[in-house]
Amino acid sequence: MILGHADLVTLLFGLGALLAVARLLGEAAARIGQPAVVGELIAGVLLGPTLLGAIAPELYAQLFPATGPAAVGLDAITRIGLVLFLLVAGIEVDLSSVFRQGRAAAFVSAGGMLVPFALGVGAGTLAPHLVGWEGRGDPLVFALFLGTALSISALPVIAKTLMDLRLFRSDLGMLVIASAVVDDLTGWILFALLLAAIGRIQTDFSPAETVFATLAFAAGMLTAGRALLHRVLPGVQRLFGGPGGILGFSVALAFLGAAFTEWIGVHAIFGSFLVGVALGDSSHLREHTRATIHQFVSAIFAPLFFASVGLRIDFVRNFDPVLVLAILLIACAGKLLGCGVAARWSGMQWRESLAVGVGMNSRGAMEIVLGLLALRSGLIGERMFVALVVMALVTSMGSGPLMERILRRGRPRRFTDHLAEGAFLPRLEAASAEAAIRELAAAVCAGAGLDPAPVTRAVLEREETQSTALGAGIAAPHARVPGLAAPLVGLGVSPEGVDFDAPDGESARLVFLILTPEGDDASQIEILGDIARSLLDPETRERLRTAPTRAAVLAELKRAG
């Protein structure tokens, strides 16, 4: 028996308390529109040296001892949690959508990488003490780390923010996500290389060997590994019958990948992140498996890990206001400038470009993980770590409300304003997504005196890049139409449901067709958002499905508010 009776009591009470408080505050954060990670971190601060350790040091020491088997157990569990969190983050990375976004994504991600990196390295070289260098180690290494830390993105937080704003499947959302994917991937590879180059982890390998192995592993996973997994997954799915088959396979693979990267001298999470990227890109990884692992990790392991971050550091004593402000300013300047200008160059309007910059500015959980690893490997001190955490929280918390503010000025437009007579089809005959689009486009164009052929083509092309299904039986195919003066909306009800490849697998019974003037991104986003918001209530969806006329639709939506 390795963990004794008393150790097990300590470990279980500690885990229970940590998880309960982290979930509670995480949910509280979510309810005021903030990422859950904010609340989860605060849970650790409350149970850690900052609060509990200050007011009840004995209870703190008993719940979370610093050494001994219970401490090792908690450390092992939170580290496994981190490995699983990065697996999920990797699964969310959609490499193919990056290629689809093409030039704009290349611009924005390059801008979002190069400008913050240059600012970070510059500040670290010119004024190292101002930005947290504590006189230990090579200031160049510190400057390189700062550059990397500022250029990284927080894909999970960005994705969550865009989903909350109902922008995830809009063109602007897809651009931000694609760029964040590139920055995330590059940032982590840079960080891994940096760790390897300075040989800070004690391994059997020379820094050069580690760098080579890291690059080879990353390149291999993103090309051959990705293709191999895509080919192997159907077999695995056949071999492992139940829904848990792929789940166990993915987690075992993540453990092995993590073990490998840790072994060659970069951090374990780099391995599980790349395993996640390679897995998540395969269309054979079923939505159900993604959802199960995502839910379990974000309800159990992520809260445990982020709460545990606060357990070892005193956030009050290590809070240095000048440093926090300096880091925050450089961080925001880098992303807003880099991404905003790049977005404008790639042809977007100023308002949307600013929204892209604000969206890319969230650092969230990823920055905290990076900071923790840097702290553990001695690259930075506790003051700098606290500054990075605060910067990550502030940028994540600000991004949602700011984007909303920038994109939605004045009275929000209702989609019903653009639903013309004749554009409501109470019984779609189509049995496929394509047929449904054709049927709706014909009706909408007939009413507006447009040629349906080019409109249909544009909508189908958009649909091909990524499904516009919103889930819950709703799909919203859309396109920009040159020469249109105002938006046009059509609504068709399919009694049997049409398969739009929805994230939740539900076939679409309410199909909205949205046509907006070219260049007017805001109206597309507003209409999409309004549809999503108006149909949150299942009862409203149910009633729309049986509405006989356009007038009944408008009345129902007015009633629902």
Q: Determine if 431 is a binding residue for a second copy (CB under 8 A).
A: no
HSE of 19, CA atoms in CB hemisphere, 13 A: 17
- The single residue among 168, 188, 255, 424 that binds a second copy, judged by CB under 8 A, is 255
Q: Which stretch binds a second copy (CB under 8 A): 73-81, 328-336, 391-399, 537-545?
A: 73-81
> Would you say 110 or 259 has its CB closer to a second copy?
259
Q: Tell me the closest approach of the beta carbon of residue 307 to a second copy, in angstroms.
A: 11
Site string for a second copy, 318-357 (x = CB under 8 A): ----------------------------------------
Closest CA to 367 of 354, 382, 386: 386
Q: Is the distance from CB of 389 to CB of 320 less than 8 angstroms?
A: no
Q: Tell me how far, at minimum, the Cβ of 294 lies from a second copy, in Å.
A: 9
Provide the residue type at 130 as one letter: L
Q: Which stretch binds a second copy (CB under 8 A): 10-18, 130-138, 163-171, 542-550?
A: 10-18
Contact flag: residue 3 with a second copy (CB under 8 A): yes
Confirm whether 294 is a catalytic residue.
no
Q: Which residue has the tokens 């997504």?
A: 433
Query: One of 5, 129, 418, 478 is an active-site residue; which one?
Result: 478
Q: Compare residues 30 and 110 and give the one whose CB is closer to a second copy.
A: 30
Is the Cβ of residue 1 or residue 55 nearer to a second copy in the bound state? 1
3-state secondary structure of 497: strand
Separation CA 328–CA 330 (nearest Å): 6
Nearest approach in angstroms of CB 293 to a second copy is 7
Q: Using an 8 Å Cβ cutoff, are 433 and 496 in contact?
A: no
Residues in the chain: 561
538: left (phi over 0), alpha (psi -120 to 50) or beta: alpha
Does 243 interact with a second copy (rule: CB under 8 A)?
yes
Output helix, strand, coil percentages for the chain, rounded to the nearest 5. 70, 5, 25
Cβ nearer to a second copy, comparing 118 with 228? 228
Report how far residue 126's alpha carbon sits from residue 122's, in angstroms, rounded to the nearest whole number. Answer: 6
Strand 469-471 to strand 474-475: parallel, antiparallel, or no bridges (unpaired)? Answer: antiparallel
Under rule CB under 8 A, residue 258 binds a second copy: yes
Contact positions with a second copy (CB under 8 A) in 285-324 = 292-293, 295-296, 298-300, 303
Residue 16 engages a second copy in binding (rule: CB under 8 A): yes
Phi and psi, residue 175, nearest 5° = -65, -45
- DSSP string of 371-396? HHHHHHTTSS-HHHHHHHHHHHHHHH
Using CB under 8 A, list all residues that contact a second copy: 1-3, 5-6, 8-9, 11-13, 15-17, 19-20, 23, 27, 30-31, 67, 69, 71-77, 79-80, 83, 201-203, 239-245, 247-249, 251-253, 255-256, 258-259, 262-263, 268, 292-293, 295-296, 298-300, 303, 376
Active site members? 478
